[in-house]
Structure formats: structure tokens, C-alpha cells
């Protein structure tokens, strides 16, 4: 498969993930008087279903990582070359940034729009003023553990003896479950690109906290790759 096709697919897939997922939270919060009108379940489903849709759309082209933590973990597991890892990660970040820009333009077109809050556009965060106001340690543990579990699902469902037809659905469902638990804590990242895009537009505290949503997911993914190399026969 031509590398440029794979990189474009990863950029497109990440664009869709951020637009659908962060859009579900952002547009709902701008358009309703209360908290996100579609609720925790609706936002969780938006992220998970976006992954399912993209898995069957671009999976045959690139494998549908749409997440730097996944690509780096695949590199560590020996399933992706260093060259493609760099290309994937750059494409994913570009896709996320473009999606956040589109989302910003859409959200700012509402009559109810008064500017981006500290953690606007579905930015991830922690601490005072952010959702459940969990501290940094809780946020780091959450992102590390849930990214680890997410990658274990991915490694398991894409192993040689697994059913490839069900992989996208299983991975999407696992992301829904992760969001149901982690949204009140960090807004749920488990994906550095998903965090980068909104933070660049929200700026301020969202940017200052971005490091955690890069370090913790990548560390969790690398630990999953280590476990996979030991325990999963592939």
C-alpha cells in the first residue's frame, strides 16, 4: 500500500474522530442551557461509534490507528516500521488540528457563543474547575491505565487467531466503556492527537496540561506492547 495513502487515511480518520467526538460535547454544550444535552452516554457513544465507522472505512488502508499512542505501541510491538510511525503520528496530529479548527468555526457561529472557556472544544484536563475536579495523580493514572487496557483490546482483537470482522466493533465498544468511566476525571483522552487539536485552540490551562495527555497514553500503550510481546501469540 502506498505510504501517502496510509498517511492520508490516518489524517482523515483522526479528523473524523475529533470532529464527531469533541463535536458531540462542544456543540451540545453551546446549544443547550444545561450540561451537554446528549449526556455522558451520548458523548461516549460519539467517540466509540466514530472509531467503529473509521475502522471499517480506512482499516483496510492503514489499519485505522488514528491515535499516536496506538502507532507508537505498534512500533514497540514490531507491527509498524519507524518510518510509518512518524508518518502516522504527523498525519494524526494534522487531522486532529484541522478538525478542532473546523469545530471552532462551527461552534463560534452560534448566537449563544461567548468565547472558548478554559477547556473549550472538548479539551482534556484536570483539577479545580474541570468536571469532577480530580487531581493530577488521578488524571495520570486514569489515562495510563485506560490506554493500557485499550491497547490490550486492540492487540487481542487484531491477533492472527482473532476474527478481523469483529475487531472494529470490539475496539469501538471498549472506547465507549472507557469514556463512560473517564470523562468525569479527564474528559477522556487515551489519544495524544485528540488532546492536541482542541488544546491548541483553547490555549491557556488546556495547553499547560497537555503534556499529561501525551505522556500518560504513550506510556500506557508502551506497557501494553510489552505485555503483548510476552503473552499474546501472534
Q: What is the pLDDT of residues 137-169, one digit of tens each?
A: 999 999 999 999 999 999 999 988 888 889 999
Select the more confidently predicted residue: 125 or 233.
125
Q: How far is CA 201 from CA 124, 166, 184, in A?
A: 12, 36, 21
Give the integer Cα–Cα distance in Å for 104 and 28.
13
Domains in the chain, start-ordered, CATH in brackets? 3-231 (1.20.1080.10)
What is the predicted pLDDT for the residue at 160?
Answer: 84
205-224: per-residue pLDDT in tens? Answer: 999 999 999 999 999 999 99
What is the predicted pLDDT for the residue at 1?
Answer: 63
What is the predicted pLDDT for the residue at 9?
Answer: 98
Q: What is the pTM of this model?
A: 0.94
Whether the pLDDT of residue 190 is over 60: the answer is yes
pLDDT band at 36 (very low <50, low <70, confident <90, very high): very low
What is the predicted pLDDT for the residue at 29?
Answer: 54
DSSP assignment string, the chain: --HHHHHHHHHHHHHHHHHHHHHHHHHHHHHSSSS-TTHHHHHHHHHHHHHHHHHHHHHHHH----SHHHHHHHHHTTSS-HHHHHHHHHHHHHHHHHHHHHHHHHHTTSTT-----TT-TT----STTSTT---HHHHHHHHHHHHHHHHHHHHHHTSTTS-HHHHHHHHHHHHHHHHHHHHHHHS--S-HHHHHHHHHHH-HHHHHTTTHHHHHHHHHHHHHHHHHHHH---
Whether the pLDDT of residue 110 is over 90: the answer is no
The residue among 169, 144, 143 whose CA lies nearest residue 157 is 169
Interval 19-27 mean pLDDT: 92
Interval 174-181 mean pLDDT: 98
What is the predicted pLDDT for the residue at 139?
Answer: 99
Residue 48 near residue 54, CB atoms below 8 Å: no
* % residues pLDDT > 70 (the chain): 94
What is the predicted pLDDT for the residue at 10?
Answer: 99
Give helix 68-76 / helix 136-157 axis angle, nearest 10°: 60
Amino acid at each position: 500500500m502506498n505510504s501517502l495513502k496510509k498517511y492520508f487515511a490516518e489524517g482523515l480518520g483522526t479528523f473524523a474522530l475529533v470532529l464527531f467526538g469533541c463535536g458531540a460535547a462542544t456543540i451540545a454544550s453551546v446549544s443547550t442551557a444545561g450540561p451537554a444535552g446528549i449526556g455522558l452516554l451520548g458523548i461516549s457513544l460519539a467517540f466509540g461509534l466514530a472509531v467503529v465507522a473509521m475502522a471499517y472505512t480506512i482499516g483496510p488502508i492503514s489499519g485505522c490507528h488514528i491515535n499516536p499512542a496506538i502507532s507508537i505501541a505498534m512500533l514497540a510491538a514490531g507491527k509498524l516500521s519507524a518510518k510509518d510511525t512518524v508518518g502516522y503520528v504527523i498525519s494524526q496530529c494534522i487531522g486532529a488540528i484541522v478538525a478542532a479548527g473546523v469545530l471552532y468555526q462551527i461552534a463560534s457561529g452560534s448566537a449563544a457563543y461567548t468565547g472558548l472557556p478554559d477547556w473549550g472544544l472538548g479539551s482534556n484536563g484536570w483539577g479545580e474547575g474541570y468536571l469532577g475536579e480530580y487531581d493530577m495523580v488521578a488524571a495520570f493514572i486514569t489515562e495510563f491505565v485506560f490506554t493500557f487496557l485499550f491497547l490490550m483490546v486492540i492487540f487481542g482483537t487484531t491477533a492472527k487467531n482473532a476474527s478481523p470482522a469483529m475487531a472494529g466493533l470490539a475496539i469501538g465498544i471498549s472506547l465507549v466503556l472507557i469514556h463512560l468511566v473517564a470523562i468525569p476525571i479527564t474528559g477522556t483522552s487515551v489519544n495524544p492527537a485528540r488532546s492536541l487539536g482542541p488544546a491548541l485552540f483553547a490555549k491557556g490551562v488546556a495547553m499547560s496540561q497537555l503534556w499529561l495527555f501525551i505522556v500518560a497514553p504513550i506510556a500506557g500503550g508502551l506497557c501494553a506492547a510489552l505485555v503483548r510481546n510476552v503473552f499474546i501469540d501472534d
